[in-house]
Amino acid sequence: MITKSNIASYEQRGSESIIRYNDDSWLFVSSDSNNGNIGEFRSIRLYRDSSLVALAATYGEGDNRFWSPSGITQPQLATYWNTAVREAERLHKLYLAGQMDEDTWRDFHRDFWDITTQGGFVRKSLEKGELPAFGNAGRQRNSNDNHSAEPYS
């Protein structure tokens, strides 16, 4: 099971949280952005060895989908996301308890918390394995497909 101790690092760039795990996986949690303000959940992507291995995304009111060409299950993807949420919530609690100053919270943790904790409905659906698959989730990749991406380094 993935735990907080499995998080190697995290950062926030724009409207995206990037979490690197000790198993060399990278989780990207993206939200909509409106004039620099963080909005609602947009997608979550899990990479291993620079390849996209799982994706969950929202395409509007109630249209949430899951895709994995590599056998990653919805509950497994939810485990990575929930681990990041627990870390974000832990940081938020430290701030609320006065154990972190305003500048540190605002400059280093607030956006990570805000982005990572979005999408609760999608996260719960992943835990239960209830998201419908994308229409092409079972198709074979060909040499023209570009499902590989180098995570931020």
- Exposed (0-12), middle (13-18) or buried (19+): which is 65, by Cβ within 10 Å? middle
Give the separation between CA 11 and CA 115, rounded to whole angstroms: 11
d(CA 65, CA 53): 14
pLDDT of residue 62: 77
- Give the model's pLDDT for residue 49: 86
Residue 131, pLDDT score: 93
> What does the domain layout of the chain look like in residue ranges?
7-128
pLDDT tier, 147 (very low <50, low <70, confident <90, very high otherwise): very low
Using an 8 Å Cβ cutoff, are 47 and 26 in contact? yes
Other CB atoms within 10 A of residue 58 CB? 20
Looking at per-residue pLDDT, the higher value among 38 and 48 belongs to 48
pTM of structure: 0.82
